[in-house]
Each structure stands twice: as structure tokens, then as C-alpha cells.
Amino acid sequence: MPAHLLHVLPARHAERALLAAAAALVLALWWHGPIVQWADYHAFADRRAWLGIPNAADVLSNLPFAIVGAWGLARLARANTPGPALWSWRVLCAALVATAAGSVLYHWAPDNAALVADRLPIAWACAALLCAFLAERVAPRWSAPASLATTLVVATAAVLYWWFGERQGEGDLRPYLVVQFLPMLLVPLALLLRVGADRNGRTPDHAWWAVLALYAAAKGAELADRAVFDALGLLSGHTLKHLLAAAAAGCIVRAAVRAQLR
């Protein structure tokens, strides 16, 4: 790693750098223009039923999200000395349980209306995850009730913006993509700049890098849904995406719980 990256970036400079990166992402997507959902989005590769459950693999592979979220909530309830990001971690765990429910609903009978129930808790999870990271590495105020509530409202608005536009035939995914991919941009940038590396009670760097790697693999599997299914037969790329994303959630929740209960 370059020598200038080995020094811990002061919080005031770190926040400005991260805000600049976030603004760059928003401007890049604005310049790109509307991003519409492709026509065959709901045509998943594995449509096999099992025990009366339609699209069984894509439905049942959401259960790990509920398990991770419920376990995290139970463990975080034992935190006697709240860390700066405790509420964000709790919201993340609740969002994971909601993600399991929303994705089961969607994959049971995929359509745009059910997709709202799928995307809303995913957006909440992304918002809570980013708030947790910023609270641990930049400033505790990012996990304050007002900040957390604001980010959740923004995440909700991003999904509803797509949904109401979609109903008019002009759906635009750009706000939702900002919410989903902002942690994928800011977390590695902050880790490379060693933002908050000298703080106590933070979730360790290696857990964040593992999450980034697993989530990137999950997105790759999602894009290769049919190719993975044709190659493996037992599971599709979308099912694998669920399992990899749940593994990412389990990795970061476990690390966060250990940091909070330390």
C-alpha cells in the first residue's frame, strides 16, 4: 500500500472525501441518464417447484437472511455498553429479517408490485450498513436516531421513485442504485484511506473486505443467473446470489456483534 495511505485520515477530512465520492457517484448517474429495468427481469432461470412452493430454490434461499437477522437482534440485545453504531446494527438486522420476508413474497410470484416489497428492505439494509460504518469510522452522529431515520426515508423514497415511475412507464433505477452501491463505493475508499483505523470498538477491516468480496460475487452470480444454472443444474445464479449475500450479512453481523459485546 502507498505510504501516504498508511496514515489515519482525520475525521474532518475523511467526511469531506467520502461526501465528495458520494457526490461523484450521483453526478455520474445523473449524467448517464435514466436506467430502466430490463423487460425480462422477472424471468429467472430456476422455476422448479418443490412441496407446493413455486420457484422453490429462489424462495427458500432467503431463509438465511432471516436467521442472520434474528440472531443478530438477539445478540445485540445483550449489549450493556452501547457502541456508537449499535442502533444502526440493530436496524440492519431487522432489515435482514424484512429482506427475507420481502424476497420470499417476490419470488413466490415475481412481478413489479411484489418487487417493491423485495427492494424496500434491501434499501433499508444498505442505508443502515452505511450508517453503521460511518458511525464507527467517522462520527457517532451518523447512527443517531435523526440521521438513521433520514437515511431510511431517503432509501424508501429511492424505491418508491422507481415504482411510481414504473407505473407510468418511465421507471428510473438511478436513485435505488445510489442507495445500493454507495456502501460499495465508500467503504473500500474509507478502508484504503484508513479512516477511523485508530478508533476503539469498531468492526475490523477484514470483516468489511470479506463483505465487499462476497457481495461482489453475489452480484456477479445474479448477472449470470442462466449460465450458472446451465452449468450446475442444482442451483441458479440468482439462488447463489441469495446465499452469497446472506453469507456477507452473516460475516459482518457476527463481526459487529463481537465488537459491540467486547
Residue 8: pLDDT band (50, 70, 90) is: low
Flag whether 1 is in a domain.
Answer: no
Residue 11: pLDDT band (50, 70, 90) is: low
In the predicted structure, residue 4 carries a pLDDT above the cut 80:
no
In the predicted structure, residue 3 carries a pLDDT above the cut 70:
no
Mean per-residue pLDDT for 58-75? 98
* Percent with pLDDT over 70 in the chain: 95
Range of the domain at 35: 9-260
pLDDT in tens, 111-151: 999 999 999 999 999 999 999 999 999 989 999 999 999 99
We report the CATH number of the domain holding residue 203 as 1.20.1070.10
pLDDT in tens, 158-168: 999 999 999 99
Kindly give the residue spans of alpha helices, DSSP state H, lying in the chain.
11-32, 56-60, 63-76, 86-108, 112-137, 145-167, 174-192, 205-223, 225-232, 237-260
In the predicted structure, residue 12 carries a pLDDT above the cut 80:
no
Mean per-residue pLDDT for 59-81? 93
Domain count, the chain: 1
What local confidence, expressed as pLDDT, does residue 82 receive? Answer: 72
In the predicted structure, residue 10 carries a pLDDT above the cut 80:
no
In the predicted structure, residue 36 carries a pLDDT above the cut 80:
yes
Buried b (16+ CB within 10 A) or exposed e, 20-49: eebeebeeebeeeeeebeeeeeeebbbeee
Mean per-residue pLDDT for 24-50? 93
In the predicted structure, residue 224 carries a pLDDT above the cut 60:
yes
Flag whether 3 is in a domain.
Answer: no
User: Using CA atoms, how far apart are residues 219 and 39, in angstroms rounded to an integer?
Assistant: 19
Flag whether 227 is in a domain.
Answer: yes
User: Using CA atoms, how far apart are residues 73 and 254, in angstroms rounded to an integer?
Assistant: 11
Flag whether 158 is in a domain.
Answer: yes
Residue 65: pLDDT band (50, 70, 90) is: very high
Flag whether 2 is in a domain.
Answer: no
Residue 43: pLDDT band (50, 70, 90) is: very high
CA nearest 255: which of 195, 209, 217, 194? 209
Cα angle 71, 73, 74 (rounded to 5 degrees) comes to 65
* Percent with pLDDT over 90 in the chain: 79
In the predicted structure, residue 217 carries a pLDDT above the cut 60:
yes
Flag whether 92 is in a domain.
Answer: yes
User: Using CA atoms, how far apart are residues 176 and 34, in angstroms rounded to an integer?
Assistant: 12
Q: Directed axis angle between helix 174-192 and helix 205-223, to 10°?
A: 140
